[in-house]
Amino acid sequence: IYLEGLISNRSPTFTTSTGSVLESAAREKLSPEAYAYVAGSASSESTSHNNRAALDSWQIVPRMLGGVDVAEFDGSTTLFGGKKYQTPIIVSPIGVQSQLNTDEADLATARAAAELEVPFCLSSAGDRTIEQVSEQVDFTNPVGDEEGGSEAWFQLYWPSDDKLAESIVKRAKAAGYTALVVTLDTWILGWRPRDLDQAYNPFLRGQGLAQLLSDPYFIATYCPDGKLPSKEHDNDAFLQVCATAVSLLNPGISRSWSELRTLRELWGEDRPLLLKGIQSPLDAQRGLEEGVDGIVVSNHGGRQVDGAVGALQALPTIAAMCRQRGKTCIFDSGVRTGADVFKALALGAHAVGIGRPWAWGLALEGQEGVSKVLKGILADFELCAALAGCKSAGEIGRHMLVKRGENL
Ligand code: FNR
């Protein structure tokens, strides 16, 4: 199904869904700053290498003559203890999408995801507001419905001002977002040499701040005379407000585990709350004890702690902890191909987040580009799983993998 669309509307940059081809094509289109911002990771960038090394350290053992019909392959998954999703992927949150696509930014990505019934996770560092993005999504028709449907999740950078946190979480709830993803690994930006070399910080130019700059509480409390200064008429005052916004998003102190209860009260019991950026099983355990509905095992694509563990190495233990308690486990960081999705599912993830690949697609062809990348990864995944002998995503398991170098 996915291939049909790709072949009928083929463009040379999409001959493969691997990061390298897409990335080099996107690089030619982007400004050096924007390219560096998206491609870059922390310091020596060893963590993003470790992400790939961890994925490559597992190998799939295909089975034959199992009566598999690839046209009938069921790639659906169940999240949050009973909700069916048609595909096992989600669109991981990426901030400052106006660097990649000035005209539409997050709106293009949200539409591409909605069309494929893939959950779109809007970033706290988005370039379109919670309300603008929600208009692209038909929340009345939930994902997994027979008719098909779409939904969006909201990713929270937990502001240091409690009232601001409250205002933003309530806006996301009121706009219909179905899950809250609280990212814990980025309470201050990591050391990113590619950006530092170019003295580039999009936030200080006023990008990536749509959520705060549209927030009634933020404007009333932090803007002079309770009004957002106009960029055109008073750029200095505008940039001053942006710097304030950045400082609220980068509080420099981490919140405490027990405060998760406050977020839960604001968000409500009826909608899932997940923690993103968890790598230690001890943190996963603590989060689950605090009553979260799921864990996103992720190291932010290697952008925060240099010299850290490959994210996939953290997955098996945390996925087992989640499954034992009936909670959801999602994995991202380093996923580029269908085989990568397969491996993460085999090691226990219920769903897999796609990050940089769709960002390159957005840079190349806007909504259509995001759609092609997601369809490519889904087609690659379905063929990979079917050729490996699986009729459904649910049949993929640890028994289908061996560690590199081990004999069967
Ligand atoms: C991110 N990521 C991210 N995560 C988050 O929770 N909020 C955010 O605003 C952003 N912004 C962001 C910007 C850019 C340019 C990148 C590359 C990443 C992290 C993202 O959700 C995901 O964890 C990583 O992208 C996964 O790594 P790979 O697969 O892209 O290497």
pLDDT category at 15 given cuts 50, 70, 90 is very low
Q: How far is CA 98 from the centre of its chain?
A: 16
Question: pLDDT averaged over the chain?
Answer: 93
Fold for 2-403, please state it.
Answer: TIM Barrel (3.20.20)
Residue range 354-364: mean pLDDT, rounded:
95
Q: What is the biggest distance separating any 2 CA atoms in the chain, rounded to whole angstroms? A: 72
Question: What's the pLDDT tens digit per position in 379-407?
Answer: 999 999 999 999 999 999 999 999 999 99
* pLDDT of 16: 47
* pLDDT of 88: 97
171 is in an annotated binding site: no
Residues with C-beta less than 6 Å from any ligand 1 atom:
37-38, 92-95, 123, 125, 155, 183, 276, 298, 300-301, 332-335, 355-356
95 is in an annotated binding site: yes
Which position has the higher pLDDT, 280 or 16? 280
399 given a catalytic annotation: no
Query: What are the domain boundaries of the chain?
Result: 2-403
pLDDT category at 17 given cuts 50, 70, 90 is very low
Tell whether the model's pLDDT for residue 132 goes beyond 70.
yes
- What the block records as the tokens of 262 is 């406050």
> Which atom of ligand 1 is least distant from the CA of 39?
17
93 is in an annotated binding site: yes
* pLDDT of 150: 87
pLDDT category at 240 given cuts 50, 70, 90 is very high
Cα–ligand 1 centroid distance for 183 (angstroms): 10
Question: What's the pLDDT tens digit per position in 150-160?
Answer: 899 999 999 99
Per-residue b/e over 272-310, b at no fewer than 16 CB within 10 Å?
Answer: bbbbbbbbebebbbebbebebbbbbbbbbbbbbbbebeb
Contact call for residues 180 and 98 (beta carbons, < 8 A) = no
Residue range 130-142: mean pLDDT, rounded:
85
Question: What's the pLDDT tens digit per position in 184-197?
Answer: 999 999 999 999 99
Which position has the higher pLDDT, 139 or 371? 371
Tell whether the model's pLDDT for residue 143 goes beyond 70.
no
Q: What phi and psi, each to the nearest 5 degrees, are found at residue 365?
A: -140, 25
Name the residue of 303, 305, 377 whose CB sits within 8 Å of the most ligand 1 atoms, as the mutation to test its pocket: 303
- What the block records as the tokens of 203 is 């936030």
Catalytic pick among 49, 233, 300, 350: 300
Question: What's the pLDDT tens digit per position in 83-99?
Answer: 999 999 999 999 999 99
Cα–ligand 1 centroid distance for 301 (angstroms): 6
> Which atom of ligand 1 is least distant from the CA of 298?
23
Tell whether the model's pLDDT for residue 226 goes beyond 80.
yes
Contact call for residues 336 and 54 (beta carbons, < 8 A) = no
Cα–ligand 1 centroid distance for 145 (angstroms): 29
d(CA 197, CA 369): 29
Q: Is the dihedral of CA 365, 371, 372, 373 positive or negative?
A: positive
